[in-house]
Amino acid sequence: MKIGNIDLGERPVMLAPMEDVTDRSFRLICKEQGADMTYSEFVSADALIRNIAATTRKLAIDPGERPTAIQIYGREVGPMVEAAKIVEAASPDIIDINFGCPVKKVAGKGAGAGMLRDIPRMLEITRAVVDAVRLPVTVKTRLGWDHESKIIVTLAEQLQDCGIQALTVHGRTRSQMYTGEADWEMIARVKENPRLVIPVIGNGDITTGNGLVEGFGRYGVDGVMVGRASIGAPWIFREMKAALAGGDAGELTLAGKFALLRRQIRESVDRIDEYRGILHIRRHLAASPLFKGIPHFRDTRVAMLRADTLAGLEEILSHIENDIIPENS
């Protein structure tokens, strides 16, 4: 699969853009674990052109994580074009436009998935961004605004006509948010359209190697994007790529998984500061499968998610790794 001149190989697996998750450290770890491409956190066009520090920091890319896309969102043509030019100067490999985020603070203001209610403006923004930069431009979106407006098959063609070089489709509508199941049959209909020649990347509910294999084999997509299943589990890419190859890469050891989480914590603290760095990493700790299904774990889990110093958090993690999990395995 190629996006512009970027060759991602056959059946690539990508790390999805996720706010407060896909920072530079996490992207690099996922790349090392087998992700073929990574995407930044959401970059607000309005905040970027106002030079807000927290936003401009999102443009930093580690050479080891490439190829990398920086994803931008907004609701007005002018700011989106200006933001795309700023992003291009940061030298990502691809610029991705977010027309899929369903959360109220984004979609409710007309950006992200909110654009699914204003297709003419969505196409105007896409065409303007494509014309303004030399980098490949891609789009991530959803099936439609709600069940009555699943317009993705037609929309995919329209976006292709605007000049995008790949399309990622999340298999839900905006009104579904993240409830129900992703509709991969609809994603397959996009791919089956003979008039669509750009790569189609499927996204939604891919949480296992078997699910990944089905995404490619049954639904025929060119690439698969993995999001929430990677939070607190960057090693999922290692496991998925092994399943795709029909072999066994050897499951990462418990010590190896804890080492990756500790690295995330350390790099988060180094990048921000101790208190806020630990706050930032709590989402990964809360979601990690390492801490699922352990009997009588509630009190320890609460303590882990309330720890606000490196020393305190490390003491709890060491207790979990060396005492609690072995006792219950």
Residues with a catalytic annotation lie at: 101
Nearest residue to 175 (alpha-carbon basis) of 197, 204, 133, 143: 143
3-state secondary structure of 232: coil
Task: Write the single-letter amino acid at 74.
Answer: G
Task: Write the single-letter amino acid at 134.
Answer: R
DSSP 252: P
Residues in contact with 69: Cβ distance below 8 Å, sequence separation at least 6, in sequence order: 17, 37, 38, 39, 40, 92, 93, 94, 95, 96, 138
Distance between CA atoms of 230 and 218, rounded to whole angstroms? 22
Cα–Cα distances (Å) from 72 to 137, 184, 326, in that order, read 11, 25, 44
Helix 24-32 and helix 254-271, axial crossing angle in degrees, nearest 10: 150
Is the link from the previous residue into 63 a cis peptide, with omega within 30 of 0?
A: no
Beta bridge partners of 206: none
Distance between CA atoms of 13 and 6, rounded to whole angstroms? 14
Residue 94: phi and psi, rounded to 5, are: -145, 150
Task: Look up residue 241 and give its two tokens.
Answer: 């790529």
Task: Look up residue 161 and give its two tokens.
Answer: 């006509």
Nearest residue to 4 (alpha-carbon basis) of 125, 119, 98, 96: 96
Distance of CA 291 to the CA centre of its chain: 22
